[in-house]
Amino acid sequence: MISEQEADKRIRALAEQIASDTEPGNDLLVVGILNGAVFFLSDLVRRMPPELDVRIDFMAISSYGNSTKSSGVVRIIKDICCDIEGKDVLIVEDIIDTGLTLSYLMDAMKARRPARLRTCVLLDKHERRTEAVKVDYCGFQIPDAFVVGYGLDCGGKWRHLSAIHVVSQAEGADNAVDLL
């Protein structure tokens, strides 16, 4: 669906945009959501200008378990290490689908009173949204298809692929998946 080169080009543009929207002299705390956002976060922050004071941290949230359908259950499995009160925080997520994960996370983060809270997603399945979530930066709007690669997985598989691919799935059979 999206090649390594296309993703790279878009991520450079996102990094530039985020940097230009960030108050000079402020620390920017970039919080990646494990495991899906690891490659995206690492490429994104390395495209940010050296004069920007960038810090990174990670959170893990349960969402889909092993299937391609949402369980509707969201909980924090691993929290960030630092206090974010008064900080400029950017949440980096691989994909927004229903919005359940990000909306839960945003509420949890807002309660910690950061000075500023922004969200950045690589992929947005806009038509699937059920929760209203403010997405400040988006790499690509994609149609309703299950995608893998560049950090995104299907049952733990295919995260390591450099490009983003669509998975084909036989009706009702979670194990019968393959790359399109």
The site for Mg ion (CB under 5 A) is made up of 36
109 is an interface residue for ligand IMP by CB under 6 A: no
Nearest CB to ligand IMP, comparing residues 44 and 102: 102
Task: For tokens 């983060």, name the residue.
Answer: 109
Nearest CB to ligand IMP, comparing residues 22 and 109: 109
97 is an interface residue for ligand IMP by CB under 6 A: yes
For residues 146-165, which are near ligand IMP according to CB under 6 A?
A: 146-148, 152
Q: Which of 32, 36, 139, 149 binds ligand IMP (CB under 6 A)?
A: 36
User: CA 146 to CA 123: how far, in whole Å?
Assistant: 11
Helices (H), the chain: 4-20, 38-46, 100-110
Whether 83 sits among the annotated catalytic residues: the reply is: no
Give least dist CB 91 to ligand IMP, A: 11
Give least dist CB 173 to Mg ion, A: 23
User: CA 139 to CA 128: how far, in whole Å?
Assistant: 17
Chain centre to alpha carbon of residue 107: 16
User: CA 67 to CA 80: how far, in whole Å?
Assistant: 26
140 is an interface residue for ligand IMP by CB under 6 A: no
169 binds, among ligand IMP, Mg ion, none (CB under 5 to 8 A by kind): none
| Exposure string over 108-138, b if 16+ CB within 10 A, otherwise e | ebeeeebeebbbbbbbbbeeebeeebebebb
93 is an interface residue for ligand IMP by CB under 6 A: yes
Residues forming the active site? 97
